């Protein structure tokens, strides 16, 4: 019989293990806040542009840049989130970084324009002003010759009000960007805690637990047999007979009277029988020893031989 050739098949689909990108779906109130950020930035941009047209200062130029950047940042946030074809460019870290950057910028604009407004504190007499038609710093004013100090710039009441408005309105975008930064940071933190991967230590411990084989429990009544000790012979104890003392010494120990001065034990207590060791039935039996009656003349000391009377 012929063996059919082995065939191979490609998988129908490749497993997708990569985590889906995070896209924050903001509620309606966040979209409204974004709209106010753009609106306030545009108002500040117009006022700063008008002041720059009259006389350019670094503080007004910075406020104009902040208003322009606000429109760009908010446009990126809303377009990459709401438009499906542009979601590939969405990055939550970019959103957080841009919100933080704009909050710092608007705070700097607030301080800079407030400091600029504080420098206009001297009243002067203006003889006249004219416009040279330039885009930047087109207004020129002639200060009265009676002024003792040369002024770098002069502003009427309308110009001072615009500088104050730029400083005050810069606080509102600053607060709004802080609000959106906190919202996006908090929601991203909650999402990260929910979808974070287990730590390396937990994964290692789980792999070790899965790789450990299961052992069947042993019954407590079953005796464990060790094959290395199966051929050993059981231990047999040998009983050795007690050594027989000399007949004379044993008789002396039994018949020695108690020393004087000690009262005799009462008769009510039974006398203790001498110890009879266990005798092996396989060993030879000896006849009982006859007690030796000591001489009435005296009793030898222990260990001395006994001599009968002559």
pLDDT of 11 reads 39
Residue 40, pLDDT > 70, answer yes
Read off the DSSP letter of residue 240: P
| 277-282 mean pLDDT | 55
Residue 299, pLDDT > 60, answer yes
| 77-91 mean pLDDT | 89
Contact 45, 60 (CB under 8 A): no
Which has the minimum average pLDDT: 25-29, 73-77, 303-307? 303-307
Its pTM surpasses 0.75 = no
Residue 102, pLDDT > 50, answer yes
d(CA 219, CA 307): 74
Among 238, 244, 252, residue whose Cα is nearest residue 285 = 244
Higher-pLDDT residue of 61, 15:
61
Q: What are phi and psi of 224, to 5 degrees?
A: -90, 125
What is the percent of the chain where pLDDT is above 70? 54
153-192 tens-digit pLDDT: 788 888 899 999 999 999 999 999 999 999 998 888 887 6
What is the percent of the chain where pLDDT is above 90? 30
pLDDT of 32 reads 94
pLDDT of 15 reads 38
Q: Provide DSSP, 133-164.
A: --SSS-EEEEEPTT-SS--S----HHHHHHHH
pLDDT of 8 reads 46
| 105-113 mean pLDDT | 95
127-157 tens-digit pLDDT: 777 788 788 888 787 777 555 555 667 888 8
Residue 115, pLDDT > 50, answer yes
pLDDT of 154 reads 81
Tokens of 249: 């010494």
Other C-beta atoms closer than 10 Å to the C-beta of 210 total 7
pLDDT of 13 reads 37
244-279 tens-digit pLDDT: 544 544 444 455 555 555 555 455 455 555 555 555
d(CA 81, CA 34): 13
pLDDT of 25 reads 79
Higher-pLDDT residue of 271, 58:
58
Higher-pLDDT residue of 189, 290:
189
Q: Which residues pair with 128 in a beta bridge?
A: 142
pLDDT of 258 reads 53
184-225 tens-digit pLDDT: 988 888 876 776 765 555 555 555 555 555 554 555 555 555
CA 299 vs CA 35, 175, 255: distances in Å? 133, 124, 9
């Amino acid at each position: 019989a012929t063996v059919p050739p082995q065939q191979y098949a490609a998988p129908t689909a490749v497993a997708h293990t990569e985590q889906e990108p995070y896209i924050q779906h903001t509620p309606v109130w966040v979209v409204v806040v974004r709209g106010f950020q753009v609106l306030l930035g545009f108002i500040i941009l117009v006022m700063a542009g008008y002041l720059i047209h009259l006389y350019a200062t670094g503080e007004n130029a910075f406020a104009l840049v902040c208003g322009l950047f606000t429109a760009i940042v908010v446009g990126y946030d809303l377009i990459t989130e709401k438009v499906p074809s542009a979601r590939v460019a969405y990055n939550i870290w970019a959103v957080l970084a841009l919100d933080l950057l704009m909050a710092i910028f608007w705070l700097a604009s607030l301080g800079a324009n407030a400091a600029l407004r504080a420098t206009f504190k001297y009243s002067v007499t203006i003889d006249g002003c004219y416009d040279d038609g330039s885009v930047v710093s087109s207004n020129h004013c002639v200060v009265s010759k009676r002024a003792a100090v040369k002024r770098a710039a002069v502003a009427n009441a309308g110009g001072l009000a615009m500088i104050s408005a730029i400083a005050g309105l810069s606080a509102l975008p600053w607060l709004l960007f802080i609000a959106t930064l906190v919202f996006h940071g908090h929601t991203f933190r909650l999402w990260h805690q929910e979808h974070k991967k287990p730590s390396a230590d937990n994964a290692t411990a789980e792999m070790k637990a899965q790789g450990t084989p299961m052992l069947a429990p042993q019954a407590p009544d079953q005796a464990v047999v060790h094959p290395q000790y199966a051929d050993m012979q059981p231990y047999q104890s040998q009983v050795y007979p007690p050594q027989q003392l000399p007949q004379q010494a044993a008789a002396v120990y039994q018949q020695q009277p108690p020393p004087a001065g000690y009262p005799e034990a009462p008769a009510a207590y039974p006398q203790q029988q001498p110890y009879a060791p266990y005798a092996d039935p396989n060993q030879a039996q000896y006849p009982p020893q006859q007690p030796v009656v000591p001489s009435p003349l005296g009793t030898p000391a222990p260990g001395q031989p006994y001599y009968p009377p002559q």
